[in-house]
Amino acid sequence: MRAFPQSPLRLSLIIAAVSALAAILLPMIGRTEPTRYDTEYPTIGYGGKAQHNDIERLQDRLDRGEVKLEFRGQRGYLDSLLKLLDIDPSSQVLVYSKTSLQVDHISAATPRAIYFNDDTYVAWVQNSQSLELAAMDDNLGPVFYTLHNVQGGNVAFDRQSSRCLTCHDRFAMSGGGVPQFLLDSAVVDTDGIVIGDTAPVETDDKTPLDQRWGGWYVTGIPDGLKHLGNMQIRRGAPSAHASGGTLRNLDGLLDTTPYVRGSSDVVALLVLEHQLLVKNLITRLNYKARTWLADSSKSAARSEDQAYAAASPQTQKRIRGMVEQLVQTMLFTDAVTYPNPLLGTSGYDKWFASQGPRDAKGRSLREFDLHTRLFKYPLSYVIYSDAFNALPSYVKSQVYQRLHEILSGEDHSAVYSRLTVDQRKSILDILTATKSDFASATRLAAGSTPTRLAQSTPPSG
């Protein structure tokens, strides 16, 4: 294996630059000893068996002989795995920073390919014997696996833990952190190595577009926007592609024939950034709320709602604060606006939008805008996820209450001022029609007319 550069600063930056699912999907030898979370968050049981994610469910189907992974050519099990996990190939994004232990295999000429759906992530690296996987487990949050990508033998997903959490938990050294997904932007050369003393930037909805996607390929309709994607910087010899920006295709930058697709779709990258941000907030809220209440509960027999009602005012305030942060993120309150329309070419936008659910008028939270913002109706589709549904009942009820106050026009706080009257009403209609527990929790019957919004709601920014 080729060694990392010897500069301590550069080495630390490379290790820190664990971008998106490149960081999510570290291919390490599995370890079975308890994690730090088993001590800090015993109510979660992170070191125990993960049972509530699609990778574990697929393993059960494989063990029962209901399905079989097929090994095909250079990519091995990849194509078959994507099909069985219901991950569309159009989701492919390519990252060429050395953000995996498979540093020998990753460069601008041989980027890592990442594929994903709402909850599961798969990465493939050319000439590697491992597939890297991650999933959002309903109870545990982010969990990590590898699959030996060699024909023959037992097909089994190996759960990874301790070493992965060095990068997957930004608070690992001081305690109090939770497992998380990462998506970073780092300026790298064509060998995938961080340049000079630059530091990676964790990107999400709030990050200016011109600071995103360092170390990533980005394809779509060229929009004139400059960002850090597609940079081809060779040590000592800058190339014609040293300046970043979206490209229609990757011709001239690398040979894409080994990959499932020839794209690294800009819309897929935008969705990925948002999705990981919300999933991380859900994980943190789940870990903290359950642990705080377990610590303060006088009786193990209490229900979740009873434990919350009996909690100290300080504990309730801390939980409400985290709920508010989640609500604001799900409503895109701090998301940057796009200076130009952003359009992909892989077909990912059509596949994603087709997933639904839709209300009687055919509207969906998955409908894209892509002119000034990501979605037409700015409330996160992650509200439909199993991980959100698995949050404690007192947390969900608070989220629903806050959403109803904001969307009905009762709450005119400045932080939500970008939501127009029409947007609020449309989102409330869609949510009431497509999420029955929201309608029930807010005492709105499905199909009823939402509260009339005051016309003084500030216009969209």
pLDDT tens digit sequence for 119-128: 999 999 999 9
pLDDT at res. 7: 39
* Domain identity same for 234 and 286: no
Residue 50 falls within a domain, yes or no? yes
Which one-letter DSSP state was computed for residue 145? E
Which residue range(s) make up the domain with 281?
277-441
**CA distance linking residue 321 with residue 326, whole number of Å:** 9
Do residues 53 and 139 touch, judged by C-beta distance below 8 A? no
Residue 300 pLDDT grade (very low, low, confident, very high; cuts 50, 70, 90): low
Residue 264 falls within a domain, yes or no? no
- Of 201, 224, 222, the closest CA to residue 211 belongs to 201
DSSP per residue, 244-302:
---BS--TTT---TTSS-S--BHHHHHHHHHHHHHHHHHHHHHHHHHHHHHHH-S-TT-
Residues 182-204 have a mean pLDDT of: 88
Residue 164 pLDDT grade (very low, low, confident, very high; cuts 50, 70, 90): low
Residue 245 falls within a domain, yes or no? no
User: Over pLDDT 90: what percentage of the chain?
Assistant: 70
* Domain identity same for 157 and 303: no
pLDDT at res. 246: 96
Residue 116 falls within a domain, yes or no? yes
* Domain identity same for 314 and 210: no
Do residues 267 and 220 touch, judged by C-beta distance below 8 A? yes
Residue 60 falls within a domain, yes or no? yes
The shares of helix, strand and coil residues in the chain, as percent rounded to the nearest 5, are 35, 10, 55
Angle at CA of residue 190, ends 184 and 191, nearest 5°: 85
Reported as a single tens digit per residue, the pLDDT across 349-368 is 999 999 989 999 999 999 99
* Domain identity same for 203 and 63: yes
Segment of 18-22, 27-31, 199-203, 339-343 carrying the highest mean pLDDT = 339-343
Reported as a single tens digit per residue, the pLDDT across 76-113 is 999 999 999 999 999 999 999 987 767 889 999 999 99
Residue 243 pLDDT grade (very low, low, confident, very high; cuts 50, 70, 90): low
Reported as a single tens digit per residue, the pLDDT across 330-347 is 999 999 999 999 999 999
Asked whether the predicted pLDDT for residue 45 surpasses 90, the reply is yes
Strand pairing category for 201-202 and 233-234 = unpaired
* Domain identity same for 226 and 293: no
* Domain identity same for 105 and 209: yes
Q: What 3-state class would DSSP assign to 135?
A: strand
Residue 43 falls within a domain, yes or no? yes
- Domain count across the chain: 2
Residue 320 falls within a domain, yes or no? yes
* Domain identity same for 78 and 213: yes
* Domain identity same for 308 and 184: no
* Domain identity same for 217 and 345: no
* Domain identity same for 205 and 292: no
Residue 363 falls within a domain, yes or no? yes
pTM for this structure?
0.88
Instruction: List the single range of 199-213, 358-372, 381-395 with lowest mean pLDDT.
Output: 199-213
Instruction: List the single range of 192-206, 334-348, 421-435 with lowest mean pLDDT.
Output: 192-206
Residue with tokens 């509530």: 52
Q: Which helix (H) or strand (E) holds 202?
A: strand 201-202
Residue 174 pLDDT grade (very low, low, confident, very high; cuts 50, 70, 90): low
* Domain identity same for 181 and 306: no
Do residues 229 and 243 touch, judged by C-beta distance below 8 A? no
* Domain identity same for 284 and 229: no
What is the C-alpha end-to-end distance of the chain, expressed in Å?
51
Which residue among 238, 264, 290 closes a domain? 238
Buried b (16+ CB within 10 A) or exposed e, 35-47: bbbeeebeebebb
Query: Please, which residues have CB within 8 angstroms of residue 236's CB and are 6 or more apart in sequence?
Result: none
Strand pairing category for 157-160 and 201-202 = unpaired
Asked whether the predicted pLDDT for residue 443 surpasses 90, the reply is no
Q: What 3-state class would DSSP assign to 160?
A: strand
Which residue among 212, 238, 264 closes a domain? 238
